[in-house]
Amino acid sequence: MHNHRYPMAFPILFLLFICLPFSSAKLNTDYYKKTCPDFEKIVREHIYIKQSSSPATAPGILRMFFHDCITDGCDASILVSSTAYNPHAERDAELNLSLSGDAFDIIVKIKNALELACPGIVSCSDVVAQATRDLVKMVGGPFYPVRLGRKDSLVSDASRTDESLPTTTMTMDDIIKKFTIKNFTIREMVALTGAHTIGFTHCKEFSNRIFNYSKTSEIDPTLHPKLAAGLRRVCQNYTSDPSMAAFNDVRSPGKFDNAFFQNVLKGLGLLTSDYLLAVDPRTKPIVELYAKDERAFFQDFAKAMEKLSVHGVKTGKKGEVRSRCDQFNHIPN
């Protein structure tokens, strides 16, 4: 008889261990409790001041956070500026050029304050994750816990953005694939799209729906005619002024609520992808649920954001705590 030195539970525990996403298992909500006790307070105070004076900050940060996390994980690679050594940083990918200046600005301000309070301790990726949650809550959205301890990336590559981000002209099949390949469900995808309840979209993203739509129709017939007429007025000079934009949620653009889902069911969504959400049999029942039950949307959004916030995080030697969010601590080889 062999003398088994390991109890039978060992293989089960081992299997459980290897099935856990190891890097995200290292994160916890109290990560800075001893090393930077004022972390939460510093983020919260800066967020309040910035959002009060610049209401575009909340949607701007939310969009930046999504673009960063879905590309290569939540690692602040989107904050790095291009240099002679790294000429095509993620921030300069075409899909990221319209990201909000207010979003970059508030992260720099928070990071500077943290470097004075506890130098070299808090990562830029943790600042982005915490600031996003606080801003969502500040504009009326749900609270969700933010686990901390992410490290900042050692790589920032614009080419990875196009591979990862969905675009407004994709088919629903292609959009769904962008999420499922990253291990997000269709329901989580629809919940995350609810972030369109705040903020605005530049006219060029939906101009094909309101100008020269087809040989037989100037506007997309699936768009509500009154909305189309209003958008044509707002966007008439968009080719000469690319900053022209319209609110995503025409009813309550500054409040985080479920109005976006109610809007898309009435043909009041700006983007073709909004229209597809409301008609595709895989997404329509979820849109209808969120349109009538804000609590269900908030619960699902909070869970999906919690999951997104630990997607592809770097820990240990796989990353660093940048001194400045827009540059690596060392010039990459």
Binding residues for Ca(2+): 68, 73, 75, 77, 90, 197, 249, 257
Which three-class secondary structure string do you get for 71-102? Answer: HHCCCCHHHCCCCCCCCCCHHHCHHHCCCCHH
Given the structure tokens 């291990």, which residue do they identify?
183
* Annotated binding-site residue numbers for substrate: 166
pLDDT of residue 1: 47
Which among 289, 305, 307, 308 has a CA at the least distance from the CA of 297?
289
pLDDT digits (tens, 9 = 90+) for 122-149: 999 999 999 999 999 999 999 999 999 9
Instruction: Say which residues have a Cβ less than 8 Å from residue 330's Cβ, sequence separation at least 6.
Output: none
- The pLDDT tens digits for 61-79 are 999 999 999 999 999 999 9
- Which residues are known to be catalytic? 67
- pLDDT value at position 13? 43
241-272 per-position pLDDT tens digit: 988 999 999 889 999 999 999 999 999 999 99
Nearest in space to 61 (alpha carbons), one of 134, 155, 162: 134
The whole-number average pLDDT for the span 177-183 is 96
Burial (CB < 10 A; 0-12, 13-18, 19+), residue 94, is exposed
The whole-chain average pLDDT of the chain stands at 91
- Residue 23 confidence class, pLDDT cut points 50, 70, 90: low
